[in-house]
């Protein structure tokens, strides 16, 4: 089990990025959360196997159809044992 802190920058708010991230994470069996940040980025804490997280990261580089991802920053963190994957407001 791994934990990643992921920050996605670009045109990523107002384009269903959070809902799409939740749907993708749930389909991959990843736990954690996604939220918008005041600086216009989207922040994700995600936990799962290396393969699950790799698939989520690949998706984050494009996101939903309306998004225009400029960059994806990843940091490994301490596993927090989330239950499920939610959108934080």
Report d(CA 81, CA 78) in Å as an integer.
9
DSSP assignment, residue 62? Answer: T
- Which position has the token pair 């989330």? 82
Spot the catalytic one: 7, 11, 18, 24.
18
User: Is 88 an annotated catalytic residue?
Assistant: no
Report d(CA 75, CA 84) in Å as an integer.
20
Spot the catalytic one: 11, 24, 36, 68.
36
Q: Which of 5, 76, 15 is nearest to 43 (CA)?
A: 5
Q: Which helix (H) or strand (E) holds 80?
A: none
User: Is 18 an annotated catalytic residue?
Assistant: yes
Which positions are catalytic?
Answer: 18, 36
């Amino acid at each position: 089990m791994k934990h990643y802190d992921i920050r996605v920058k670009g045109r990523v708010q107002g384009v269903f990025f959070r809902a799409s991230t939740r749907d993708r994470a749930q389909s991959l069996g990843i736990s954690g959360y996604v939220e918008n940040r005041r600086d216009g980025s989207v922040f994700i804490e995600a936990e799962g196997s290396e393969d699950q997280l790799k698939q989520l990261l690949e998706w984050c580089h494009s996101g939903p159809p309306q998004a225009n991802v400029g960059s994806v920053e990843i940091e490994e963190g301490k596993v927090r044992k989330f239950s499920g994957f939610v959108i934080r407001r």
